[in-house]
Amino acid sequence: MEKLALPAYEDEWHFASMQYGDYIGFNGSEIYGEVVEAILGQPHDFLLLNISGCEKPNFLNYDIFNRSFRPSTNGINYDWYIRFRGEERKDIISFVFYVFMHAIIFNHFIKQERVNNHGILESLPDLMGEYTFAIKDPKDNIASKALSLDSIGSCGVEINDVSLLTT
């Protein structure tokens, strides 16, 4: 069993409504950014993991994905930003959080060299068959479907190897 921390809202990512659209600023390495961008570009292909403790959101189209070079509305300069137009705040946050959960899992397997960052789609069937995923709260319970933004940073994604669960 492995447990990966979820990014804390306002520290590691942030929603900002501005003149030209709604933005999500977030931090992450170059590879993490590439994974997030790939997921955003093909959500129906990438967002297939069954993650207990969360509902699958409506998939949204983004307008721009790029490196961030200025502070967001909360004063923090994030590594990356995503711009959306014409979507509701709650839908954007729900969708992006779901993207981040998948990206965190994929990034974990990339770091462990179990998956190549350009071979995630080819590896998805194996990941789905070999592992289970669940969002766990600080007390190690499967999180409720309605996590508050303030509590996200204290939760984590638990990864369990199916072969270890069945022996």
pLDDT digits (tens, 9 = 90+) for 88-111: 999 999 999 999 999 999 999 999
Q: Say which residue, 47 or 164, is predicted with more confidence.
A: 47
3-state helix, strand, coil in the chain (%, to 5): 35, 25, 40
0.85 exceeded by the pTM? yes
Could you say which DSSP state residue 57 is in? -
pLDDT of residue 145: 62
Share of the chain above pLDDT 70, in %: 96
Q: Which element (helix H / strand E) includes 51?
A: strand 51-52
Contact (CB, 8 A) for 16 and 73 = yes
Q: Say which residue, 164 or 9, is predicted with more confidence.
A: 9
Mean pLDDT on 144-157: 80
Mean pLDDT on 76-86: 97
Mean pLDDT on 25-39: 96
pLDDT digits (tens, 9 = 90+) for 116-131: 878 899 999 999 999 9
How many domains is the chain built from?
1
Q: Place 167 in a pLDDT band, splitting at 50, 70 and 90.
A: very low
Q: Which domain holds residue 159?
A: 2-165
Q: Place 164 in a pLDDT band, splitting at 50, 70 and 90.
A: low
Of the listed ranges 4-8, 82-86, 163-167, the least confidently predicted one is 163-167
Could you give the CA distance from residue 133 to residue 50 in angstroms, rounded to a whole number? 7
Contact (CB, 8 A) for 6 and 107 = no
